[in-house]
């Protein structure tokens, strides 16, 4: 084999590793008034990592699970004043505490929430709606004589940081879920509602005012219901719409339970008094139902289960 035919040596190039998209929700409780920070944190570390690639030695490898744990522990110990400050603290920690790590990159996405208000415009202490908010929808069917108008919204993410419980549920040999008298309740409201109006002989609704009022009724009921189950909250939301809006005949709600589990900080000697949560993406519970006026027949079709 000539020199030109010999394969050229291969070498290891730039490399990094880390933990991507750790969802951490930090609730700061100032008495009855709560403040909320919701982040997705990604950690990428690089440095003296030749050995793990070339020989499989993990001597310089800080587990990515440790990075996740650090995010939760720092959220508890230091709080989250801002995404930037939290990122600086994490980056400094990883590079300063690990001799083999020469560079840390922290990527953070922050999901903003705004405080819900009551009918007088006062901020509610522990009820929030995520900014960016919903997509408005409408479906119109016309058969040459009658219209059917179904308005709606989707992806309206809301959260109560207390006033939610879940206990007394059925059990079998596979049940491991613990009962709770105080939990975070978060969901993504997907709702469609059918109007009574169908012909020009009926009073024409003010579509803009009606949409705003239905949206407000959904949020007021979510914030004002001390929830023993997401099903109970769903019914309260649908009932509030029908009780306050004569132009609506039925409403169909689909509420995924956006689970928030307490992060286990005992291994670090830290107590987690309902402050630091892991926001689970999936799987999720999905609660769906139609609320309609007595004697009516549901006409809003169901849709395929999400996911």
Task: Report, as residue numbers or ranges, the catalytic residues.
Answer: 19, 64, 259
| Angle of helix 64-78 versus helix 83-97 axis, rounded to 10 | 130
Between the two ends of the chain, the Cα-to-Cα distance in Å is 57
CB-based contact 198:146 (threshold 8 Å): yes
Residue 272: count of CB within 10 angstroms of its CB: 17
State how far the alpha carbon of 79 is from the alpha carbons of 16, 130, 221, 245, in Å. Answer: 27, 20, 31, 43
Handedness of CA 197, 199, 204, 206 (dihedral sign): positive
Question: By the 8 A CB rule, do 107 and 120 touch?
Answer: no
Helix (H) or strand (E) holding 153: strand 147-160
- CB neighbour list of residue 117: distance below 8 Å, 6 or more residues apart: 123, 124
d(CA 285, CA 186) in angstroms, rounded, equals 11
Query: Within a 10 A sphere around the Cβ of 110, how many other Cβ atoms?
Result: 15
Q: How far apart are CA 32 and CA 52, in angstroms?
A: 50
Q: How far is CA 222 from the centre of its chain?
A: 15
229: nearest Cα among 183, 261, 176: 183
Distances in Å between the Cα of 7 and the Cα atoms of 32, 46, 53, 68, 267 are 70, 29, 21, 41, 51
């Amino acid at each position: 084999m000539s020199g030109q035919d010999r394969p050229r040596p291969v070498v290891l190039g730039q490399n990094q590793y880390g933990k991507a998209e750790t969802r951490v929700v930090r609730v700061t409780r100032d008495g009855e008034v709560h403040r909320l920070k919701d982040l997705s944190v990604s950690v990428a570390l690089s440095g003296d990592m030749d050995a793990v690639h070339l020989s499989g030695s993990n001597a310089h490898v800080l587990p990515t699970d440790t990075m996740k744990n650090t995010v939760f522990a720092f959220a508890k110990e230091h709080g989250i004043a801002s995404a930037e400050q939290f990122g600086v603290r994490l980056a400094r920690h990883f590079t300063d505490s690990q001799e083999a790590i020469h560079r840390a990159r922290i990527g953070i996405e922050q999901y903003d929430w705004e405080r819900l208000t009551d009918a007088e415009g006062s901020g509610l202490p522990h009820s929030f709606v995520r900014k960016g908010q919903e997509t408005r929808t409408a479906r119109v069917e016309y058969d040459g004589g009658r219209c059917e108008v179904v308005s709606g919204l989707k992806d309206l993410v809301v959260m109560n940081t207390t006033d939610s419980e879940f206990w007394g549920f059925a059990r079998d040999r596979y049940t491991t879920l613990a009962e709770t008298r105080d939990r975070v309740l978060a969901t993504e409201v997907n709702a469609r509602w059918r109007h009574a109006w169908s012909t020009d002989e009926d009073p024409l609704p003010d579509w803009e005012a009606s949409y705003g009022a239905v949206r407000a009724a959904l949020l007021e009921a979510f914030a004002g219901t001390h929830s023993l189950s997401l099903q109970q909250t769903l019914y309260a939301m649908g009932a509030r719409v029908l009780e306050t809006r004569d132009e609506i005949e039925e409403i169909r709600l689909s509420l995924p339970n956006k689970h928030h589990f307490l992060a286990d900080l005992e291994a670090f000697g830290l107590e987690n008094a309902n402050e630091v949560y892991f926001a689970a993406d999936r799987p999720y519970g999905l609660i769906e139902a139609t609320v309609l006026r007595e004697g009516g027949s549901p006409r809003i079709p169901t849709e395929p289960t999400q996911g």
